[in-house]
Amino acid sequence: MFDSDEPKISGKEYHIACGPGDVAHYVILPGDPDRTPKISSYWDAVTFKASHREYVTHTGKYKGKDISCTSTGIGGPSLSIAVEELFRIGARTFIRVGTTGAIQEQINVGDLIISSGAVRLDGASKAYVRQEYPAFADLEVTFALIEAAEGLGLPYHVGVTASTDSFYAGQGRPGFNGYDQSWMATLIPDLKKAGVLNFEMESATLFTLTRLYGGRAGAITAVIAQRETGQFKADAGLEGAIRVGNEAVRILSEWDALKERKKKKYVYPSLFSQV
């Protein structure tokens, strides 16, 4: 059965090839499909669910908590497809785990960046809502990522990320044969002055869609490139980002259970001390 408005094949979502019951409420979103098995290797139990195009999904248990991981491919457009279809089969909490390039001098290769919000330099989020709408991470997910990073003793920074659909020109890199435009020369200096920490390609789309659809999302990325110094080390800090993402799911699951017991909608500091 194929419906052009909400395409499905044999009851499964067309792109991610998953259906109801295949994914948990909490889903980790790496870009690279090869990172799905890396993330799920830390779990207590893993079930392979699907592999179609760039979308590879595993579901299982991490420290007794239900968890899933779906890769999204590169950039906001492919991530938006994954998020759309994951929402339709029950996912509501999303954590992007990936890599990034830092543009502030104090950030080292191998450090982690927790994105509190994103500059919407992408195109995908603009298909959903006007440009003035903010792309910001969920507070509880952000705090869970911070707590996880602190608990693991890993170096991290919290701040605003710039998300773009283009790895080259959109991040101020010259194109083929040195192609450039005048605005590219001022892109990084302007973002630096505004306090933006890093470039990546998915968070703005993720934050925008989850906010519009009533879900929640956060993002943690490992710094593999330092644009100011020219340093680059593939996968530097990635293991740490994976560990933080998994731990944040455990923390959020415990906080959600606490909220349910206390009949509260939000987590707040004194809630933890209430008898």
* Catalytic residue flag (residue 88): no
Helix ranges, the chain (H): 35-40, 76-88, 139-152, 184-193, 203-212, 238-262
Q: What is the largest CA-CA distance in the chain?
A: 66
CA distance 30 to 28: 7
* Catalytic residue flag (residue 150): no
For residue 144, the Cα-to-chain-centroid distance in whole angstroms is 14
Catalytic residue among 15, 96, 216, 243: 15
Catalytic residue among 211, 216, 227, 243: 227
Residue among 57, 128, 40 nearest 91 (CA) = 57
* Catalytic residue flag (residue 15): yes
Residue among 96, 123, 92 nearest 25 (CA) = 92
* Catalytic residue flag (residue 52): no
Q: Which two tokens stand for residue 65?
A: 């908590």
Distance linking the first and last C-alpha atoms of the chain: 52
Catalytic residue among 54, 85, 140, 200: 85
Catalytic residue among 25, 52, 173, 250: 173
Contact 73, 34 (CB under 8 A): no
Active-site residue set: 15, 85, 173, 227
